[in-house]
Copies of this chain bind each other. A is one copy, B any other.
Amino acid sequence: MNNSSGLGLRERKRARTSEVIHVAAAELALERGLDAATIEAISDRAGVSTRTFFNYFPTKEDAVLGIDEVAVSAELDKVRGCDGDLFLALFDLITALFEATGGGIKSDLKRDVIRKYPHLMTRQMVRVAELEDRLSAIVAGWLAKDARFAEQTEAEHLEAARIILGVSLATVRITMKKWASDPDPATGPPASAAPRETYERAIATLGTVMEKLR
């Protein structure tokens, strides 16, 4: 480790290659369509062999979305508290997982490609849902430190955490789908603010619905 970033050359190069492949995949999907963006074409543009492609991404869709398993896992390992609203904290965590990879142009690309192929959002959600165990453990940790859940057992915390997580994921999915189907916001305001508010209102709606339906 003789450099400034704390990462060896190998790791940096690996991250860079991952990004190159992702960008190639996403751009190709935007330019010529998802079907035409074949793995061979993506690999060509990225300047790697098709075999190397699979050393970085298990599926084409993962490459288009730029899902970097290592980065996602690292993001999960960050210790997070929950100071304010639990649902909002969870929203931030989930969206952080979406964008885990370091960023750069990627966010915009990802947004465009999901806009064009909304089913990728579902894919993305499924991927996050696969982290269910780790995520619900985090939420359970939050509950354990929350005075309002002090009287509950650890098992009950986990139970509640799973439900909260599932509900949040569903709500994020709805939120993002709406966001993706919206007409372009004219590149005006910070595009990332809107979904968070939409999500917040959706949770509020859920609150009143639960109240009325019991």
Contacts and interface: CB of A to CB of B under 8 A. Distances in A.
Interface of A: 85-87, 122, 126, 129, 148-149, 159-160, 162-164, 166-167, 169-171, 173-174, 202, 205-207, 209-214
Contacts of A171: 163, 166-167
B160 A205 contact: yes
Count copies of this chain in the complex.
Answer: 2
Nearest to A172: B166
Contacts of A207: 210, 214
Nearest to A149: B212
A159 B212 contact: no
A163 B214 CA distance: 16
14 contacts: A86-B213, A87-B213, A126-B126, A148-B212, A149-B212, A160-B209, A163-B171, A163-B202, A163-B206, A163-B209, A166-B171, A166-B173, A170-B170, A210-B211
Contacts of A206: 163-164, 167, 210
Given A86-B213, A160-B209, A166-B174, 20 more contacts: A85-B213, A87-B213, A122-B129, A126-B126, A148-B212, A148-B213, A160-B205, A162-B174, A163-B170, A163-B171, A163-B174, A163-B202, A163-B205, A163-B206, A164-B209, A166-B170, A166-B173, A167-B170, A169-B170, A207-B210
